[in-house]
Chain A
């Protein structure tokens, strides 16, 4: 069974978030992985119905989640319920927990994890070519990765959600920079889990550390 994983990559925040998914999640899930120019509606429509889990990162708002260059992937009232029915969905995106998340649950998704407000973090733009090596960004993004890996270990959505929440708390407790600490608390407070808290997906094989190098990432083009 393939995994629908959407990773847009066209500006600094999508580069940073997708870099962590590419490094720590993509190696343990099956194709099809919708990275960069493939993070669009049509490839998603083809791959999502076959998957038991949908993972995505991209820009979003109350009603929509977008992929490459903000092309709409999921929007309230504008998708086929077959794309989401029976699936656990995690969107690393802004505000999708407000309207889109409840709409996905109403249309048959078993669990949804997202955020009620903006997802914010501090990254180091000088390591944008190797975003997974960004220590600043890792304080916020590794809890997301840990939560997703918990889900892929076959644990429940509630357990995965708690791992992410605890990650923000423990990182905030030791963080010295006040702005980064505020971002961690903000993401912590806005994380939401909707639907069935006992939902699970098929367990994926664990990956061995060190990982092989991720695919080549080209420089971000256009304005940040």
Chain B
């Protein structure tokens, strides 16, 4: 497991405070720049309805969404940390 990914997990384990969300955004940006390069427009998608976070979000927009949307922060938290 990469060090960059470990930092993403670590940041997402915290409560969704503005500081933690900013930290997760920076960690994901670092991870994104060195990974996820095998396709031209990787996009995280889900089939949720009325969730408060986007159903489709390009990887390069995930840091911004993490920094501003606590619902999306918690969505990423449950996928990445299983919490």
Report A's interface with B, CB cutoff 8 A.
Answer: 11-14, 16-17, 57-61, 64, 66, 70, 92-95, 117-126, 135-136, 177-179, 182-183, 185-186, 189, 224
Contacts and interface: CB of A to CB of B under 8 A. Distances in A.
B55 interface: yes
Contacts of B46: 13, 94, 118-121
Interface of B: 1-2, 5, 8, 31, 35-36, 38-51, 54-56, 58-59, 75, 78-80, 82
A35 to B, nearest CB: 16
A17 B47 contact: yes
A19 to B, nearest CB: 12
B79 A224 contact: no
B45 A123 contact: yes
A119 B47 CA distance: 6
B39 A13 contact: no
A119 B36 CA distance: 20
Most A Cβ at <10 Å: residue of B41, B42, B44, B49: B49
B49 to A, nearest CB: 4
Interface residues of A, dominant DSSP: mixed
Contact of A124 (B40, B49, B79): B40
Given A12-B55, A92-B47, A118-B79, 10 more contacts: A11-B56, A57-B47, A61-B48, A94-B51, A118-B48, A122-B42, A136-B39, A183-B79, A185-B82, A224-B54
Nearest to B39: A124
A125 B45 CA distance: 10
B55 A58 contact: no
A125 B36 contact: no
Contacts of A66: 49
Nearest to A12: B56
B48 A122 contact: no
B41 A178 contact: no
Given A118-B47, A123-B45, A126-B40, A13 B55 contact: yes
